[in-house]
Amino acid sequence: MRFWRSDHVSGWLFVAPAAFLIILFGVVPIGWAVLLSFQHNDLLSPPSWVGAANYRALQHDPVFRKSIHITIVYTLLFVPISIAAALAVAVALNAKIRFLALYRTAVFIPVAVSTVATAIVFNWVFDPTYGIANWGLNEVGISSQGFFQDPNEALYTIVAMTVWGWIGFDVIIYLAALQGIPQELIEAAQIDGASRWATFRSVVLPLLGPATLFLVVWSTINALQLFDEIYNTTRGGPLQSTTTVVYYLYEQAFQFFNAGYGAAVALVLLVAILVVTLLQFLLSRRLVHYTS
Amino acid sequence: MTSLRKLLVLAAFAFLTMAAAGCGGSSSSGSSNGVVNITIWHGYIDAEGRAMTTLVNQFNQTHPKIHVSVHFYGNSDYALQKVLAAIAGGDPPDISYLYGSWAANIAESPRTLVLNNYIKNDPSFDWNDFWPAERQVATVNGKIVGVPALVDNLALVYNKKLFNAAGLAYPTKNWTWANLQAAAKQLTIPSEKQFGWAYVNDASEDTVWRFEALLWQQDGNILTPDGKHAAFDSAAGVKALTLLQQMAVNDHSVYLDSGNGLYANLFNSGHIGMLYTGPWDLSSFPNVDFGVQILPAGMNHQTISGPDNWVLFNNGTARANAAWTFISWFTSAQQSLHWSLLTGDLPIRASVLKLPGYRTYISKYRGVSTFVANLSNAVKVRPVTPLYPKISAAIGQAVQAVLLGKAQPQQALQQAAQQVNAILAAP
């Protein structure tokens, strides 16, 4: 009787349904992927065990190497740009101005719109011939660009599109954090004669540390898994200039039916994300201050 | 960034539930009261979806010993994965619509029915009545693993108004590549953002199969006859890719579509003079007075066809025989014509053209008569091998590099041929 009444058991009973779902749809597929990565498996004929052959082949795969490079470049651009832009927008929207609710809604709408719809719109916006982007550039005297159809520009166009698509989420987090900053701290700084910029830099920014840490970790994980936007715009091209790691995984598993090889790519990515996230948390111990 | 994950989770879920269903022993389909129950999976919607219901109802009413249930599996692009999951779970459908390009893959499954004996023992079936491209796509190393379900091909679709405005005569069946190139140039008006021609340039199969038609028009081949080496890096291949290079890079007379189908909207709004496309696109052009002509010739007028199949699976002799009875009825000339009348799809059998109702079909759907006539130009098919997706990807990169002005035809094709040879040589 006592056993059933203990907090321990009731706690586990409360989390059991969620835990069951996470294990079924999270842990089991990962375990399955681990097995798959040691197989030659086309999802059709009976699989055969090949040991670490998939991983060895990855080491000498130039397209995989290129996809890592592309993913890193994308992440290094997307994360700082989207977070800095979100901070600027959040500070602007934290002021008392007319139509504030309207602006805040407008900033968040892209997050609520499905990626596919966003991609269809941007395919037209960035069409080299008929797109509004080139029309705008031509109006101010800049010549037309290729955007998605130019191997040297496609990745940067994806960065622009995804920053636009995801900034609303970051803004909401920053707005909440900004409103959690105690007013008396800012007043104290002003009484001490701090300028507005100095107040922002030395009081507001450090207090946003936890929010920034969360956004850096979250955005990095998302950026390393970039797929939808690529699939719906460039499909990894032109000339593989936007073939990210996850897009390459998709190609291998679902277009070429190399499911084992695709699983190996996925596991390498899983480990990379774990390492990057750990590093970020370790670094943050020195950089992020928590108010007590 | 999450929908791939959703897809994987769904796939895993389907796999698990189907595996669980498989463990439960016999499922809903089977035999009761002497009636054999079979299931057929398809991805048809709209007119084709309604036609499916109509024809199957008709079959069930006229065949009391067999009951066919129709299951809609969603987008046909993902059908292979779903069928594979069902096979793994031990309970595949009796019949499924599958793309022709998957024939070589599905032939590797021991559950797939090989149809040679059924065809031999059924004199009314007449396998040779199907178009040559259909028969070749359904045949893997001599084993027939599918019954033709749908056939199409590429032809030249042009905007009559733009031809009139440019003072050009409409394309004839004697057109050559030179006519195409000259007309495209004349139809191009940069200030009005009007292009003579369009080409899908996303390096996918959409890019590749149009190139393959050009290759065959110069008597070239994709692989050597033994299927062991690349053959597209020949003089014929260079000629084909050079035509694309001249038009896209030198003349700027080609709208390069990045693979999202914008070309269809642009043709419908009168910005593009000519397309190489198939009957499936015609309903997207309600605003254009268009004509259809067979493809201009290099050395010949060959086109390319992408037939799809009904694949049958083995769920025991009774159900297999019932599935054969149904599919041979469903793909007979009479029903094929019925289907074409309801949907506008091209007839899958040559003898349909001799049936009295054929004239009604031709007059009901604009442009289809040329596509039907063009079926006799669909002589060759893409290599029937599970390695084809990889071969296609290598050729796609070569074509795209040339169209973007980043490579020369010869060099790009040689590089792709090396990759293909490595793919074919791998154990």
- DSSP one-letter code for B112: B
- Chain B contacts to A (CB-CB under 8 A): 1-5, 8-9, 12-13, 16, 81, 84, 105-106, 108-109, 193, 195, 201-204, 255-256, 258-260, 262, 266, 271, 386, 389-390, 393, 397, 400-401, 404, 406
B308 forms beta bridges with: B150
- Cβ burial B347-362 (10 Å sphere, 16+ → b, else e): bbbbbbbebeebeebe
Does the beta-carbon distance from B202 to A254 stay under 8 Å? no
Choose among B1, B2, B108: nearest Cβ to A45. Answer: B108
Question: Quick one: three-class SS letters along chain A?
Answer: CHHHHCHHHHHHHHHHHHHHHHHHHHHHHHHHHHHHHCEECCCCCCCEECCCHHHHHHHCCHHHHHHHHHHHHHHHHHHHHHHHHHHHHHHHHCCCCCCHHHHHHHHHHHHHCCHHHHHHHHHHHCCCCCCHHHHHHHHCCCCCCCHHHCCCCHHHHHHHHHHHHHHHHHHHHHHHHHHCCCHHHHHHHHHCCCCHHHHHHHHHHHHCHHHHHHHHHHHHHHHHCCCHHHHHCCCCCCCCCCCCHHHHHHHHHHHCCCHHHHHHHHHHHHHHHHHHHHHHHHHHHHHCCCCC
> Which candidate, B98, B204, B226, places its Cα nearest to that of B150?
B98
Alpha carbon of A99: minimum distance to chain B alpha carbons (Å): 32
pLDDT per residue as tens digits for the range B165-214: 999 999 999 999 999 999 999 999 999 999 999 999 989 888 999 999 99
Whether residue B128 sits in one domain with residue B98 = yes
B255 forms beta bridges with: B198
Residue A288, pLDDT above cutoff 80: no
CATH code, B289: 3.40.190.10
What is the pLDDT, as a whole number, of residue A44? Answer: 72
Distances (CA, A) of B121 to A266, B114, B118, B136, B287: 49, 13, 5, 20, 50
Alpha carbon of A32: minimum distance to chain B alpha carbons (Å): 9
Q: Which position has the token pair 């069930």?
A: B60
Q: Which of the four pLDDT bands, split at 50, 70 and 90, describes residue A9?
A: confident
Whether residue B416 sits in one domain with residue B283 = yes
Whether residue B197 sits in one domain with residue B130 = no
Whether residue B190 sits in one domain with residue B239 = yes
pLDDT per residue as tens digits for the range B20-49: 444 433 444 555 678 999 999 999 988 889
Decide: B265 and B175 in contact? Cβ < 8 Å.
Answer: no
Does the beta-carbon distance from B404 to A151 stay under 8 Å? yes
Residue B19, pLDDT above cutoff 50: no
Rounded Cα distance, A149 and B146, in Å: 39
Rounded Cα distance, B184 and B199, in Å: 12
Give 3-state DSSP helix, strand, coil % of chain B, rounded to 5.
50, 15, 35
> Which among A254, A265, A267 is the top mutation candidate for probing chain B, defined by the most B β-carbons within 10 Å of its own β-carbon?
A254
Q: Half-sphere exposure of B240 toward its Cβ, with a 13 Å CA cutoff?
A: 32
Rounded Cα distance, B176 and B297, in Å: 4
What ipTM is given for this predicted complex? 0.79
Residue A191, pLDDT above cutoff 60: yes
What is the pLDDT, as a whole number, of residue A46? Answer: 77
Q: Which two tokens stand for residue B378?
A: 């669909």
Q: Report which secondary-structure segment, H or E, holds B208.
A: helix B205-217
B147 backbone dihedrals φ, ψ, rounded to 5°: -110, 135
- Residues of chain B with Cβ-Cβ distance to A237 below 8 Å are 202-203, 258-259, 400
What is the pLDDT, as a whole number, of residue A97? Answer: 84
Q: Which two tokens stand for residue B44?
A: 């048809």
CB atoms within 10 A of CB B181: 19
Residue B262 belongs to what domain range? 155-305+382-425
Q: Which position has the token pair 């340039």?
A: B201
pLDDT per residue as tens digits for the range B267-280: 999 999 999 999 88
Residue B97, pLDDT above cutoff 90: yes
Rounded Cα distance, A235 and A230, in Å: 5
- Of the listed ranges B43-47, B313-317, B340-344, the least confidently predicted one is B43-47
Whether residue B386 sits in one domain with residue B373 = no
Q: Which position has the token pair 């084992």?
A: A260
What is the pLDDT, as a whole number, of residue B36? Answer: 95
> Who has greater pLDDT, B46 or B421?
B421
Decide: A161 and A232 in contact? Cβ < 8 Å.
Answer: no
- Cβ burial B63-86 (10 Å sphere, 16+ → b, else e): beebbbebeebeebeebbbbbbbb
Q: Does A218 touch chain B (CB under 8 A)?
A: no
pLDDT per residue as tens digits for the range B122-138: 989 999 999 999 999 99
Question: Quick one: three-class SS letters along B343-392?
Answer: HCCCCCEHHHHHCCCHHHHHHHCCCHHHHHHHHHHCCCCCCCCCCHHHHH
Alpha carbon of A109: minimum distance to chain B alpha carbons (Å): 17
Domain coordinates in residue numbering, chain A: 60-287
Whether residue B183 sits in one domain with residue B121 = no
Which residues 163-202 of A are in CB contact (within 8 Å) with B?
none
> Which candidate, A233, A49, A5, places its Cα nearest to that of A127?
A233
Say which amino acid occupies B424. L
Q: Which two tokens stand for residue A23?
A: 């294990």
Choose among A124, A129, A237: nearest Cβ to B202. Answer: A237
| Superfamily of A60-287 according to CATH | MetI-like (1.10.3720.10)
Does the beta-carbon distance from A239 to B401 stay under 8 Å? yes
Rounded Cα distance, B140 and B118, in Å: 16
Choose among A226, A235, A256: nearest Cβ to B204. Answer: A235
What is the pLDDT, as a whole number, of residue B2? Answer: 47
Alpha carbon of B32: minimum distance to chain A alpha carbons (Å): 32
High-pLDDT (> 90) share of chain B, %: 77
**pLDDT mean over A236-244:** 92
Decide: B416 and B394 in contact? Cβ < 8 Å.
Answer: yes
Give me the number of domains chain B comprises: 2
Choose among A44, A233, A251: nearest Cβ to B109. Answer: A44
Rounded Cα distance, B334 and B144, in Å: 23
Domain boundary among B362, B377, B392: B377
Alpha carbon of A211: minimum distance to chain B alpha carbons (Å): 21
What is the pLDDT, as a whole number, of residue B28? Answer: 47
In terms of average pLDDT, the best of A202-216, A255-269, B238-252 is B238-252
Residue partners of B302: CB distance under 8 A and separation at least 6: B213, B216, B217, B295, B377, B378, B379, B380
> Which among A40, A44, A226 is the top mutation candidate for probing chain B, defined by the most B β-carbons within 10 Å of its own β-carbon?
A44
Angle, in degrees to the nearest 10, between helices A100-112 and A62-93: 160
Alpha carbon of A232: minimum distance to chain B alpha carbons (Å): 8
Rounded Cα distance, B142 and B144, in Å: 6
**pLDDT mean over A1-25:** 82
B101 forms beta bridges with: none
Q: Which residue of A has its CA nearest to B255?
A: A129
- Residues of chain B with Cβ-Cβ distance to A248 below 8 Å are none
Decide: A211 and A174 in contact? Cβ < 8 Å.
Answer: yes
Residue B150 lies in a domain: no
Residue B265, pLDDT above cutoff 60: yes
Decide: B93 and B99 in contact? Cβ < 8 Å.
Answer: no
CB atoms within 10 A of CB B234: 17
- DSSP one-letter code for B113: P
Decide: B104 and B384 in contact? Cβ < 8 Å.
Answer: yes
Q: Report which secondary-structure segment, H or E, holds B149.
A: strand B147-150
- Residues of chain A with Cβ-Cβ distance to B9 below 8 Å are 25, 29
Residue B159 lies in a domain: yes
Whether residue B95 sits in one domain with residue B8 = yes
Domain boundary among B346, B362, B377: B377
Q: Report which secondary-structure segment, H or E, holds B411.
A: helix B409-425
Alpha carbon of B233: minimum distance to chain A alpha carbons (Å): 19
Q: Does A142 touch chain B (CB under 8 A)?
A: no
What is the pLDDT, as a whole number, of residue A2? Answer: 60
Whether residue B399 sits in one domain with residue B283 = yes
Choose among A29, A237, A254: nearest Cβ to B203. Answer: A237
Strands B35-42, B66-72: pairing is parallel
Does the beta-carbon distance from A43 to B81 stay under 8 Å? yes
CB pairs under 8 A between A and B: 97
Decide: B402 and B317 in contact? Cβ < 8 Å.
Answer: no
Q: Average pLDDT of chain A?
A: 90
**pLDDT mean over B412-425:** 95
Whether residue B196 sits in one domain with residue B66 = no
Residue B70 lies in a domain: yes
Rounded Cα distance, A125 and A147, in Å: 10
